[in-house]
Amino acid sequence: MERIDILLSIVYLLLFPGFLFLFAFSLFTEYLDRKIYARIQRRVGPPFLQPFADLVKLSAKEDIVPEKAEHFMFTAAPLIGLAAIFAAFLYLPIVSTTGLHSFNGDLVVVLYLLTIPTLAMFLGGWYSGNVFGQKGGMRVASLLFSYEIPFFLALLTPALLQGSWKMADITRFEATHPLEFVVSLLGFFIGLIALQGKLERLPFDIPEAETEIVAGPLVEYSGRRLALFRLARDAEMVVGAGLIAVVFLAGPEPILPLEPVYLSWLVAALVFLLKTLFVIFLLILLKSAVARIRTDQMISFAYQWLIPLTLVQIFIAIIVRFFGGI
């Protein structure tokens, strides 16, 4: 029995819904992102395997470390970012309401892990030895406090309504209380906008503004290191969208109990993936509809609108939980 449990854990970590699945699904979402974005602009867009071909091509190219770069941090930054995203993915409830390492407070851990890729991007740019890379890294660090606060506060709403920081409890609560999504609708859209900022996508791609600072913190990266950073960005979009799907859309719920249990897991995973793709589709639409803003505009937008609106959302959640109920 112990051998079966160990084998299932290895399958979960490496195959489904582990690293290989996250790797493949991340490339698929990059294809959707580029394809839908192109079609909205009346372009053809890339073929299906283009993201995978780009990754292979980058991995085969010469991997150069600039003479002025700090070698260890320059090399470790993309690995740290990708490892943090993979660790966060393992906590998400995908095949059932209970994740592989579910515990009380796992939502806080996932939020913390999703902060690390941003810090890795900053370190990579800062230690690249390039003035454009350092400038892009400083933009990453300065914007961190703009979108992280509303993102954290937005995801606080469902936790307040349920009274738990455990994602399994939140998904079960949402499955049995459909009105919860109506109450937290404002938090859902604020979380969506804040996630767009975390991913540094239009209109928040300020650190990588090609017309201003070339490629920002990644200007000196090439070969395998650049491929890892690109893969980390795609994986972060999947995990961030999956987290929003879990916290606001009940994740793999609601489904009817099915026999055998493996069929129930398969259907639950399909429900989770469809909800995640729905969130990603909204991110693509947001990217297609807006233009880049300046750094000061991003900070002003976050502190004048996003954070006050999240506080209003939290106040509504407190009123509903302690006085009205849903």
pLDDT of residue 18: 77
Residue partners of 164: CB distance under 8 A and separation at least 6 = 104, 170, 173
- The domain tally of the chain equals 1
For 228, phi and psi rounded to 5 degrees? -65, -40
CA gyration radius for the chain? 20
pLDDT of residue 167: 92
Band of pLDDT at residue 4, cut at 50, 70 and 90: low
Q: pTM, whole model, 2 decimals?
A: 0.91
Q: Which amino acid is at 253?
A: E
Closest CA to 292 of 216, 239, 228: 216
Distance (Å, whole) CA 44 – CA 27: 18
For 260, phi and psi rounded to 5 degrees? -70, 175
Distance (Å, whole) CA 145 – CA 23: 29
Band of pLDDT at residue 252, cut at 50, 70 and 90: confident
User: Do residues 287 and 200 lie in contact, with contact meaning Cβ atoms separated by under 8 Å?
Assistant: no
Range of the domain at 81: 2-324
- What's the average model confidence in pLDDT over 220-245? 93
Band of pLDDT at residue 117, cut at 50, 70 and 90: very high
pLDDT of residue 191: 94
pLDDT of residue 74: 92
